[in-house]
Amino acid sequence: MSYQALARKWRPRQFGEMVGQEHVLRALTNALEQQRLHHAYLFSGTRGVGKTTVARIFAKALNCEQGVGATPCGQCSACREIDEGRFVDLIEVDAASRTKVEDTRELMDNVQYAPTRGRFKIYLIDEVHMLSGHSFNALLKTLEEPPPHVKFLLATTEPQKLPVTILSRCLQFNLRAMPETMIADHLAAVLDREGIGYQPGALRLLAKAAEGSMRDALSLLDQAIAFGEGELAEGPVADMLGVVGSTQLLEMLDAVNRRDGEALFAGVDGLAARVPDFAGVLAELVSLIHRIAMAQVMPERAEVGDGEGERVAQLAAAIPPAEVQVLYQIALDGRRDLGHHPDPRSGFEMILLRMLAFVPGHAGEGEAARPPEPGPAAPAGSTGTAPAAPSAEAPAPPRPRPPADASPGGATPAEPPSARSAAASSAGSDWHALSNRLGLRGMAQQLAAHCELKSRDDGRVVLTLASSHAALKTERNVEQLARALERELGGRVRLEIEVGEVNAETPAARAERTSEEARRAAVEAMQADPVVQGLQERFDAELVEESVRPVSGQDTD
Q: What is the pLDDT of residues 191-243, one digit of tens each?
A: 999 999 998 888 988 998 999 999 999 999 999 999 888 788 888 888 888 77
Residue that terminates a domain, selected from 219, 241, 263: 241
Local structure of residue 161 (DSSP, 8 states): G
The residue type found at 252 is M
Shared domain check, 148 and 109: yes
Report yes or no on 271 lying in a domain: yes
Report yes or no on 372 lying in a domain: no
Per-residue pLDDT at 422: 36
User: CA 438 to CA 446: how far, in whole Å?
Assistant: 12
Local structure of residue 388 (DSSP, 8 states): P
- Enumerate residue ranges in the chain where pLDDT < 70: 1, 275, 302-307, 359-429, 551-557
Shared domain check, 229 and 306: no
Per-residue pLDDT at 403: 41
Shared domain check, 151 and 38: yes
Nearest to 219 by CA among 41, 47, 461, 32: 47
Q: How many of the other CB atoms lie within 10 Å of CB of 137?
A: 16
CB 70 within 8 Å of CB 101: no
pLDDT (tens digit per residue) in 469-481: 888 898 888 999 9
The residue type found at 224 is A
Residue 62, CA atoms < 13 Å, CB-side half-sphere:
30
Shared domain check, 233 and 337: no
Per-residue pLDDT at 309: 78
User: CA 383 to CA 406: how far, in whole Å?
Assistant: 17
Overall number of domains in the chain: 4
Shared domain check, 146 and 29: yes
Per-residue pLDDT at 301: 72
Residue that terminates a domain, selected from 324, 357, 390: 357
CATH number of the structural domain spanning residue 140: 3.40.50.300
Report yes or no on 73 lying in a domain: yes
Shared domain check, 142 and 35: yes
Q: What is the pTM of this model?
A: 0.58
Per-residue pLDDT at 526: 84
Shared domain check, 458 and 334: no
CATH number of the structural domain spanning residue 203: 1.10.8.60
Residue 85's domain comprises 6-174
Residue that terminates a domain, selected from 145, 174, 203: 174
Sort strands 451-457 and 460-466 into parallel, antiparallel or unpaired.
antiparallel
Shared domain check, 11 and 157: yes
Backbone angles phi, psi at 5, to 5 degrees: -55, 145
User: CA 39 to CA 70: how far, in whole Å?
Assistant: 17
